[in-house]
Amino acid sequence: MIHKVKSGISSPKARVFALFLVFATGAWLISRLSQTYTHTVAIQLTYQDPPDSLILVNTPAREIPARLRANGFQLLSLQLNPKVVDLDLSRAHRRAQSYIIDPDMCSNQIQQALGDGIGLLSIPRDSLRLNFQALRSKSVEVRPNIQIELAQNFMLQGPLDIRPARVHLLGPPDEIDTINQVVTDPLILKDLRDNFESEVTISGMDGLPNTRTSVEKVRISGTVIRFSEVIIEIPVVVTGVPEGMEIRTFPDNIGILCKGGVSTLKDLKPSDFRIEAPYDQPDPESGRLPLSLVRKPESVLAVDLLESSVEFIIRKE
């Protein structure tokens, strides 16, 4: 029995019949899809060109049911690939604190997007209400999240160069009013011996969905030099000494440890520095005079006093 069925299916007459059936079905589908139908499809909505200095704070409708008249091919295409319509918010009407897109305006924009071959019969008569909030702008400092580990006998020459050093924020007041600075993504530099320049992203903006920054990345650079050290003896100058009184400190000279480039250090003189000890500000416990460095060459990268205070005696003239 099964053998007879298989033989019948493989016969020439059966093949001709199957081919005819396929062509007949295709012709019927084409005929049906070529006819005009009325059907409701979902139109996807996006919102473009909001009013200046305003941001959309509510979640408007993302799709709208539309009653359409079109042929079967067009309706099938819309079902498989929903139409996306960009609604122009610059044409919305303001009402109190909201903006309104009325049904007629929405219909016109949907019809323009559908084209002439598809007829828009109707959409819901409810207006689309959009709530906006005014945007505010402020300038804040960029703080680099950077960790630098310098190689031995190397140091940074001067401060880091951050470009831009400040960025502008544009967002609703409840998001930006408490922000005084923005921070970059972490940047870790180890065993640093050479000048560097890196581009890093401003972080922490994920928690501010309605705020934008003037730039998304900043460039951080620095100059790295090999340094040397030298100790120079500098005389102590006592300030605020009353008339008729002479003050002598012990020691008279204080050593300072200077760090900088070799070419800079070899030209240093004691007169390039000034160390002062205020007579009227002795330490209440030890009675010693505190020391402060009040002048140094800008070319010297770092200076450390080897003593923080001095003893003194008073001589009356």
DSSP β-ladder status, 217-222 and 196-201: antiparallel
Contacts of 174 (CB under 8 A, 6+ apart): none
- pTM comes to 0.55
User: What integer is the mean pLDDT of 63-91?
Assistant: 77
Closest among 164, 155, 205 to 185, alpha carbons compared? 205
Contact in structure between 231 and 306 (CB atoms under 8 Å): yes
Encode pLDDT of 1-14 as tens digits.
445 445 555 566 65
| Gap between the Cα atoms of 185 and 156, Å rounded | 21
Q: Other C-beta atoms within 10 Å of 225: how many?
A: 19
Encode pLDDT of 165-188 as tens digits.
999 998 888 888 889 999 999 999
Nearest 5°: the CA angle 150, 151, 154 is 75
pLDDT given at position 1: 47
Encode pLDDT of 78-127 as tens digits.
777 777 888 777 777 777 667 777 778 888 888 887 877 787 787 787 76
Tokens found for residue 91: 């044409």
Encode pLDDT of 220-231 as tens digits.
999 998 888 999
Which carries the bigger pLDDT value, residue 104 or residue 216? 216
| CA–CA distances in Å: residue 27 to residues 19, 20, 21, 23, 24 | 12, 10, 10, 6, 5
Closest among 10, 192, 28, 42 to 124, alpha carbons compared? 42
Contacts of 300 (CB under 8 A, 6+ apart): 258, 259, 260, 264, 265, 268
pLDDT given at position 31: 54
